[in-house]
Amino acid sequence: MSNDAATSPKPSKPTWRQALVMLGGGALLASSACYGVVGAGGNDPLELTFSALFGIGMVMSLVGVILVIVRSARRPAVTDSAAIPGAPPPTWPQTLIMLAGGAVLGASSCYGFLETMGRKGSENLFAPFATGFYIGCLLALGGLIMALIRVARSLMRRRA
């Protein structure tokens, strides 16, 4: 009986598939747990369980967003720099549009969620608003991370 896992080379960086699975799995876990918290109806142990699952899902999504951004920012290592042109990093306008778009989507969805939550006949409307809020938070977080990466790169260029 041999242990092939111990002798196989470990990948040095996450693949696109791993990053997207982490992001999608975290988003699915957080959004379904969010609906669970809303539907728990004041049952404290169940509400705490769903809240913990929501937190775990948010952390998984955050890691997924960071992996996708890092993965998209990496350029392939080549010996001849003229052989393969690297993808240009996101520009400031792209970064600010992503940040502002996420903030607007998150804020408007939050308002819609809070407005529909207590009204009769709108039980089916709060789920899309909660999802919009969640997606808006992820977009804003992605834009914030992209902005931090751009600031760090510009500071490193000034020192060099």
pLDDT of residue 64: 79
Section 93-121 average pLDDT: 80
Binned at pLDDT 50, 70 and 90, residue 82 comes out as low
Q: What is the CA radius of gyration of the chain?
A: 20
pLDDT at 74 over 70: no
pTM value > 0.75: no
Nearest to 131 by CA among 104, 150, 157, 110: 110
Nearest to 112 by CA among 127, 100, 97, 101: 127
Q: Collect all residues with Cβ–Cβ distance below 8 Å to 31 and sequence separation of at least 6.
A: 57, 130, 131, 134
pLDDT at 83 over 70: no
> For residue 111, how many other CB atoms are within 10 A of its CB?
12
Between helix 44-73 and helix 126-159 the angle, nearest 10°, is 40
Q: Between these two residues, 45 and 11, which has the higher pLDDT value?
A: 45
Three-state secondary structure call for residue 88: coil
